Amino acid sequence: MKIIGPFKQVVTLANLPLRGSLQDEQLEIREDAGIIVESGKIIKVDDFENLKLEFPNAALEEIEGEQIAMPAFTDCHTHICFAGNRANDFAMRNAGKTYLEIAESGGGIWNSVKHTREASEDELLKDLVVRIDDLVRQGVTTIEIKSGYGLKLDCELKMLRAINHAKEKTPAKLVPTCLAAHMKPKDFNGDTEEYLNYVQEYILPVVQEEHLAKRVDIFIEKSAFQPEESKKFLQKAKAMGFDITVHADQFTPGSSRVAVECGAKSADHLEATSDSDIDYLAKSDTVAVALPGASIGLGDSFAPARKLLDAGGILAIATDWNPGSAPMGKLLTQASILATFKKLSTAEVLAAITFRAAYALGFSDRGVLAEGKRADLVCFPTDNYQNVLYRQGALEPSAVYIKGNKY
Ligand code: NIG
Ligand code: FE
């Protein structure tokens, strides 16, 4: 057992609802506090001096200078397993081409597929581990990672195996997702429905048998898969026992409805969603995941996060870190920018990158600093938690703890 502290403030995020809007007055902020940790879990958060008296045998892990602590973050949507580079897409977009035009002309996702197919599993793993380390240093200790640059059996498996092997190289929690339905591969002769049948018949059973992923994702969009065929695919994936999630309403509205109707854990993107779709989503248990990094990367509008929260929905924010639409990969910067454009409270943003994002991945044991929760925390060198979002990511963590151990 040990005591970590003293912290000027501990923002626990305890006792907040899973859904709907939040005000900063609702935040529990413990001043001059400490955290008792045992076996990777939190025993108690309280006044530091009181804790020392109550737990006289706890080893002291002293925090130097003025620091605050909060729950470590969850990034519930990334594509950080990839090879190659899409800087040229970025330049082409800024020269006037749209994301969909670039995709249709053979660039975009397909470019990453070509490079990822050429890379070995070890090469993928090496770059992946560097990106994971980057996220952990930002305070992100639970990371969802999608396949989806293979688009055929061997390469989808190669990606998922690399992601699973990365678990041995990091103490962070990695959550693999099979996104073989990212787009119809250019070298597939059939139609999209046939490709989805191929994924379902040949890829998903192996993914399941080899325990490579418990989640399945699909990109519903004009350039990818259509709502009706996607619905059938999602229902089958769900019937196989997978959790499902959807890339929804990125450029065209309507697919977040499919996500809700299929009982998806989350509907992600939502830049082009409509008011009625937002209402429908907000009334469901499907988490709405805003991806401000994709809006910044493509110059698109932000997901209507304010409306979603006001309508009582569950909002998470994730990086979407990928080589094409969202190459930045900085969670706090993106979440903080979304807050300024959509007028989100600090409490709403922190909830969206901690316990609400964890919920999207099916975890209820993290994202809150309270008894029994995982001792994953991020510390910042400041005396006031407000500085974290105010500095838009420029205030970097002074320490990150995973299961009570300093990273
Ligand atoms: O979430 N929208 C589809 N998929 C990714 C982009 C992947 C890529 O461009 O490589 C996204 O933005
Ligand atoms: Fe994505």
Q: Residue 316 is inside which H or E element, if any?
A: strand 315-317
What local confidence, expressed as pLDDT, does residue 400 receive?
98
Asked whether 294 lines ligand 1 (CB < 6 A), one says yes
In terms of Cβ atoms closer than 10 Å to its own Cβ (0-12, 13-18, 19+), residue 289 is buried
Residue 266's beta-bridge partner residues?
245, 287
Given the DSSP bridges, would you call strands 2-11 and 59-62 parallel, antiparallel or unpaired?
parallel
Query: At residue 104, does pLDDT exceed 80?
Result: no
Decide: 373 in ligand 1 pocket, CB within 6 A: no
pLDDT at 121: 98
112 lines ligand 1 (CB under 6 A): yes
Distance from the alpha carbon of residue 175 to the mean position of ligand 1, in angstroms: 18
236 pLDDT band (50/70/90 cuts)?
very high
pLDDT at 100: 81
For residue 295 and ligand 1, the question of a CB distance below 6 A is answered with no
Q: Which amino acid is at 177?
A: T
Query: For residue 255, what are the contacts with CB-CB under 8 A and spacing of at least 6?
Result: 220, 221, 227, 230, 246, 247, 248, 249, 267
Dist. CA 337–CA 298, nearest whole Å: 15
- Residue 46's pLDDT is what? 98
Q: Is the pLDDT of residue 381 over 90?
A: yes
Secondary structure of residue 237 in the 3-state scheme = helix
pLDDT band at 84 (very low <50, low <70, confident <90, very high): very high
Q: Which of 114, 247, 271 is the best mutation target for the ligand 1 pocket, counting ligand atoms within 8 Å of the beta carbon and taking the most?
A: 247
Q: Which amino acid makes up residue 393?
A: G
pLDDT of residue 306 exceeding 90, the answer is yes
Residue 105 has pLDDT above 90, yes or no: no
> Cα separation of 302 and 270, whole Å?
8
Residue 321 Cβ < 6 Å to ligand 1: no
Q: What is the pLDDT of residues 271-281, one digit of tens each?
A: 999 999 999 99
The answer to whether the CB of 77 is under 6 A from ligand 1 is no
pLDDT surpassing 80 at residue 342: yes
Quick one: which atom of ligand 1 is closest to the CA of 77?
1
Residue 223 has pLDDT above 90, yes or no: no
79 Cβ below 6 A of ligand 1: yes
Buried (b) or exposed (e) across 294-319, using 16+ Cβ within 10 A? bbbbbebebbbbbbbbebebbbbbbb
C-alpha 210 to ligand 2 mean position (Å): 24
Cα–ligand 1 centroid distance for 322 (angstroms): 7
Collapsing DSSP states into helix, strand and coil, what is residue 11?
strand
Strand ranges across the sheet with 315-317: 73-75, 140-146, 173-181, 215-219, 243-248, 266-269, 287-290, 315-317
- Closest atom, ligand 1, to C-alpha of 298: 12
Give yes or no for residue 389 CB within 6 A of ligand 1: no
Residue 252, classed as helix, strand or coil, is: coil
Residue-level pLDDT at 49: 98
Pick from 33, 67, 72, 12: which is nearest to 347 by CA? Answer: 12
- How confident is the model over 253-290, as pLDDT tens digits? 999 999 999 999 999 999 999 999 999 999 999 999 99
pLDDT mean over 140-148: 99
Compute the mean pLDDT over every residue in the chain, rounded to the nearest whole number.
Answer: 97
DSSP annotation of 200: I
219 lines ligand 1 (CB under 6 A): yes
The residues, ordered by sequence, that sit 6+ positions from 248 with a Cβ below 8 Å of its Cβ are 220, 255, 256, 258, 259, 267, 268, 269, 270, 273
Q: Evaluate the omega torsion of the peptide bond into residue 205 and state whether it is cis, within 30 degrees of 0.
A: no
Q: Are 360 and 289 in contact (CB under 8 A)?
A: yes
Which atom of ligand 1 has the smallest separation from the CA of 99? 9
C-alpha 120 – ligand 2 centre gap (Å): 23
What share of the chain has pLDDT > 90, as a percent?
A: 97
Average pLDDT over residues 378-384: 98
- Name the closest-CA residue to atom 8, ligand 1: 324
- Is pLDDT above 80 for 27? yes
* Nearest atom, ligand 1, residue 82 CA: 10
The alpha carbon of 151 and the centre of ligand 1 are apart by a number of angstroms equal to: 14
Task: With cut-offs at 50, 70 and 90, classify the pLDDT of residue 103.
Answer: confident
Region 335-358: what's the mean pLDDT?
A: 98
Q: Which residue from 222, 322, 328 has its CB within 8 A of the most atoms of ligand 1, so it is best to mutate?
A: 322
Question: Half-sphere exposure (CA, 13 Å, Cβ side) for 359?
Answer: 21
Residue 106 has pLDDT above 80, yes or no: no
Distance in angstroms (rounded) separating the CA atoms of residues 107 and 186: 11
pLDDT reported for residue 356 = 99
Decide if pLDDT at 122 tops 80.
Answer: yes
Radius of gyration of the CA atoms of the chain, in A: 21
Q: Rounded CA gap, 373 and 332, in Å?
A: 22
- The ligand that comes nearest to the alpha carbon of residue 82 is 1
Task: For residues 112-123, give the mean pLDDT.
Answer: 98
Band of pLDDT at residue 99, cut at 50, 70 and 90: confident
Percent of the chain with pLDDT over 70: 100
pTM over 0.85: yes
pLDDT value at position 8? 98
What band does 159 get if pLDDT is binned at 50, 70 and 90?
very high
Q: Read off the pLDDT of each residue in 311-315 and give the average, rounded to a whole number.
A: 98
Ligand nearest to the backbone CA of 146: 2
